[in-house]
Structure 1
Amino acid sequence: MSSEQFISLRKRRCLKGFELSQRLGYLVIEELSVALDQVLKMKEKEKKKMVKEKSFWQERERTKKSLMGE
């Protein structure tokens, strides 16, 4: 094998390796994006639950005060 053929082969292998790593990078980014969306949805549900729970306790205190005549 001549040195030119060897260099050409190395270039092709490097390009294939680069293309594969680029595809893998896109897949990783896509998976991270999906995971982030899931975390954000969970946080939103948690926030709604906390607001609902807070309003429950506030209403309970108002009812308690009105029953006690305060």
Structure 2
Amino acid sequence: MSNNSGGVCRSVLELQNNIIEGQRDIIGELVKLYCTEPVFDLPEELQSRIREVNEMYRELNTP
């Protein structure tokens, strides 16, 4: 039983870490875009990454 809860803990920590890394990457890309041009369109790749992070965040907050 403790093995299972340990797995759940690791899974939650992994998900949290993935969200943080994803947010860091997104913010970095946004800063790069803004530094080159204050008005810009979001590239599809960045939009996709944002959707992925949003999905991980929903998964983390789903009981």
**TM-score range relative to shorter protein:** 0.5 to 0.7
Gaps of 5+ in 1: 1-32
TM-score using structure 2 length: 0.58
Deviating above 6 A after TM superposition, structure 1's stretches of 4 or more consecutive aligned residues are none
CA distance in 1, matches of 2:31, 2:19: 18
- 2:3 matched residue in structure 1: 35
Q: Larger C-alpha radius of gyration, 1 or 2?
A: 1
CA distance in 1, matches of 2:2, 2:25: 35
TM-score using structure 1 length: 0.53
Q: How many pairs are equivalent? A: 38
- 1:56 matched residue in structure 2: 24
CA RMSD of aligned residues (A): 0.6
Higher RCO structure, 1 or 2 (CA under 8 Å, sep 6+): 2
What one-letter code is carried by the residue in structure 2 that aligns with 1:60? Answer: G
Gaps of 5+ in 2: 41-63
Do residues 65 (structure 1) and 33 (structure 2) align? yes
